[in-house]
Amino acid sequence: MPRHTGSEKRTRIAKACILCQTHKTKCDGLCPCGQCIKRERSSTCSYSSHRRLYGRQRPWPKEADMDVSKETKTRTIKVEDIQEDHPDRWLREQDGIHIAIPKVPNTMRDTKGRATTVENLLSRWISGNISVASSSSAVLYLVLAFAAQVRSASALDAHRSRSFFYHGRRIALLELTEYPTIETVQAFSLISLYMLGCCRRDGGYLNLGTAISAAKALGYHRAESTFPQCLEDRRLRKRVWRSLCVFDILLCAMIGRAPMTSAMDSAEEDFEDHRQRPDPKHPEKCQELGLYESARAISILKQTLLEIYTQRSAPLGLLQRLSSKLRQMGTELPSEIRSISPAAFSDNKCPKTRQLIIRNATVACNYYFSMMLLTRPFLIACLRAKYNKTPTTVGSEMRDGEESSEVDKSVKYGAMTSFDTALKTIQLLHELYVAGVLYNNMPLAV
């Protein structure tokens, strides 16, 4: 029979730390708590800023003696409250209900106003103009989950990432699968990216297939001339389908599967047409330029997958033609894309500058990865020729005294190109890592 304890000796805490919640151990509510001190993990002891919206609210230690004025209940929450100096102050009171207000991370900032769009969406979400189970809410939860996963600066980021992801995925499955919309494509693409960040390749591949199927159901894979929408809608459809193609081909190339966007009814982009280039006056030209240049490199990667790896044959003429075409594309890169080194920027810690460096590095990695996969057959051929030689064949070659043929020189040159491209990729990522530009968990084409 349990021992009776008086009510005056019982203690209740508002919330246990994240690690105690995970391991289901008793927490004393301090920071660091006794359990974390006992297990020598004081530096990782942190508390979630989320408060439950049901049941009796227990007073927090710092707020037990604070009186909330009536003005706080009636006034509206401004957008500036989201970007406080203290990220742990997430909670506000509005009409007696606690609302969690996430802070906009640096990964969601854009040089041309995308952060403003996110802030407007957050303010509408907080004020109640967006339904909790709406499609926009699902995408917003998943964006916050992916941003927290990319940053991964603490255990609190991991906890927030999981919470936002599970809630956003639940809304997406319940609300966005019956009648596909553009939010369906965005939501399942974000789910796929999140799962890749968790090293769940098969789950990411499955959800990417759902996003591509939704885009095809909406006709995003067709030529834009067949749709009478306004110019901005056409750009949106093209950008969504182009992003899906880039993501699909990169993922399938890494896991060794056939691309899902390579169907015969898909409209092929003509990158030789200069009208396909982003409009310099467009407000999102910064992002569209990076996506366009990545798509150009991915177009060569797509031909490599379909004409070489899928057919299980590597004609020398085709490899040389695609290789020269990819090199020509690399020489045509705009000057603003070529600046990759953090030393070329005065303040590489600035969010805008950091975004530009990451954009340029992503484009460079896409070109490097396409070249590595294209010249990989040359490297395999050289390695096989080297290790399959017997002493008899070596002696006969020395007696003949013949020089290597032109074909052998081309194969060796392609093998060295593959090796050099891999070294350039490693050097680029090492330089960005040392400069502190890369986030802790972000997907790059390597």
Model confidence, pTM: 0.68
CB contact at 8 A, 241 and 268: no
The per-residue pLDDT for range 360-399, each reduced to its tens digit, is: 889 999 999 999 999 998 888 888 887 776 555 555 555 4
Is position 124 within any domain?
no
- pLDDT for the residue 407: 60
Decide if 254 is inside a domain.
Answer: no
438: how many CB neighbours lie within 10 A of its CB?
A: 18
Q: How far apart are CA 199 and CA 277, in angstroms?
A: 34
Go through 134-153 and write b for each residue having 16 or more CB atoms within 10 A of its CB, e for each that does not.
bbebbbbbbbbbbbbbbbee
Q: What radius of gyration do the chain's Cα atoms show?
A: 27
Domain assignment present for 76:
no
Residue 340 lies in a domain: yes
Asked whether residue 171 is assigned to any structural domain, the reply reads no
Could you give the number of structural domains in the chain?
Answer: 1
DSSP 51: -
- Containing structural domain, residue 433: 269-389+403-446
pLDDT at 227: 58
Token pair recorded at residue 163: 């919470």
> Which residues share a beta bridge with 91?
100
Domain annotation covers residue 77: no
334 lies in a domain?
A: yes
* Structure confidence at residue 95 (pLDDT): 41
Q: Is 125 domain-assigned?
A: no
Residues of the chain with confidence (pLDDT) below 70? 1-11, 49-119, 121, 126, 128, 130-134, 224-229, 263-276, 280, 282-284, 348, 389-407, 444-446
